[in-house]
Amino acid sequence: INEFPSDDEYHPSQGWRPQPHHLSKEQLWERIREEAQYDAASEPALASNLYSTILAHNSMEKTMSFLLANKLANPTMLGMQLMRLIQQAYDDDPGLMEAALADLQAVYDRDPACDKYSQAMLYFKGFQAVQCHRVAHWLWSKGRKPLALAFQSRMSEAFHVDIHPAAQIGRGILIDHATGVVIGETAVVGDNVSMLHHVTLGGSGTERGKRHPTIDHGVLLGAGVTVLGPITVGAGSKVGAGSVVVNDIPCHAVAVGVPARIIKRDLIKEPVK
């Protein structure tokens, strides 16, 4: 099933791998600052926001900590405290920022309505929700479960995206539009996964243990797709909008319908779009 067109040709279903056109961390940070400077000059109404969120900081980590803390802050969770906490997570685990940069590149590459990196970072709640999840998952892995659950709750309020902090999420993730996305406690999402709004990776039954889906590398889940139970959607597959998936989907297949049925196989042999 996993036979690739050729040994040296890369396919997203193989997992995240930097591509020749991808920017390095330094290039990305430089580009984002340039974009912010340009927009602040051309649009005074945005200048103060762009200055305080991007131009006042000297690293992606500080900018992201400021940005996410501002989104999550409320009268009982102070912005300053959240900012320190998120900065601490980035300091402790550099993998969090590597994954954030991969996500930023993914949004830029895959969303035709996005033509600036700063646009994805500042304005896309799917991108912001995934970065908050990465911090919540870090808290969860450190045994700080009550705070991780508080993060989940604030994310659900602020971004309308409900990801359990225990869920495992890969790199290069695009959650487009994002409203209504739900990802359960034992779900596993691979690299290069794209999903639209209203996607549910839900549990079946009320048992504990693995009860949510595994979504392999390079999968595309259309708007409103519901995947239920400890099943697997294989690498490189696509599920059409509105489908309900209750059985395994093989790699490189297309599935649609309620319940989903497979309408195409061996996508891998087609040219990558």
Residue 259 CB, shortest distance to a copy of itself, in Å, is 8
- Nearest to 218, CA basis, from 252, 184, 247: 252
**Residue 3 or 185: which CB sits closer to a copy of itself?**
185
| DSSP reduced 3-state for 254 | strand
Residue 177 lies near a copy of itself (rule: CB under 8 A): yes
CB of 148 to a copy of itself, least distance (A): 10
Instruction: Please give the structure tokens belonging to residue 257.
Output: 């319908």
Q: How many residues bind a copy of itself (CB under 8 A)?
A: 71
Phi/psi of residue 178, nearest 5 degrees: 80, -30
Binding residue for a copy of itself, selected from 48, 58, 141, 168, defined by CB under 8 A: 48
Task: Tell me the C-alpha distance between 132 and 178, whole Å.
Answer: 14
Q: Is 172 in the site for a copy of itself (CB under 8 A)?
A: no
Closer of 24 and 90 to a copy of itself (Cβ): 90
Reference 177, options 131, 129, 135; nearest CA is: 129
Token representation of residue 234: 């294989």
Question: Which parts of 69-88 interact with a copy of itself (CB under 8 A)?
Answer: 70, 75-78, 81, 85
* 184 touches a copy of itself (CB under 8 A): yes
Q: Work out whether strand 254-256 and strand 261-264 pair parallel, antiparallel, or are unpaired.
A: antiparallel
Binding status of residue 150 toward a copy of itself by CB under 8 A: yes
- Nearer Cβ to a copy of itself, position 225 or 235? 225
Helix axes 95-110, 79-92, angle to 10 degrees: 100
Position 147 contacts a copy of itself (CB under 8 A)? yes
